[in-house]
Chain A
Amino acid sequence: EVQLVQSGAEVKKSGESLKISCQGSGYTFTSFWIGWVRQESGKGLEWMGIIYPGDSDNRYSPSFQGQVTMSVDKSISTAYLQWSSLKASDTAVYYCARLPSSWPDKPFDVWGQGTLVTVSS
Chain B
Amino acid sequence: EIVLTQSPGTLSLSPGERATLSCRASQSFSSIYLAWYQQRPGQAPRLLISGASTRAPGIPDRFSGSGSGTDFTLSISGLEPEDFAVYYCQHFGSSPQTFGQGTKLEI
Contact = CB atoms under 8 A, between A and B. Distances in A.
Interface string A76-111: 000000000000000000010101000111111101
Size bracket of the A interface = 20 to 34
A7 interface: no
Interface string B85-107: 00010101111111111100000
A30 B94 CA distance: 21
A104 B92 contact: yes
B58 to A, nearest CB: 11
Contacts of B101: 44
A62 interface: yes
Contacts of B56: 109
A121 B39 CA distance: 30
Contacts of A114: 44
B98 A47 contact: yes
B23 interface: no
B21 interface: no
Give the 8 A-B CB pairs with smallest separation, nearest first: A107-B35, A59-B95, A111-B44, A61-B96, A107-B92, A45-B99, A47-B97, A104-B93
Interface of B: 1, 32-33, 35, 37, 39, 44-47, 50, 56, 88, 90, 92-102
Interface of A: 35, 37, 44-47, 49-50, 59-63, 95, 97, 99, 103-109, 111-114
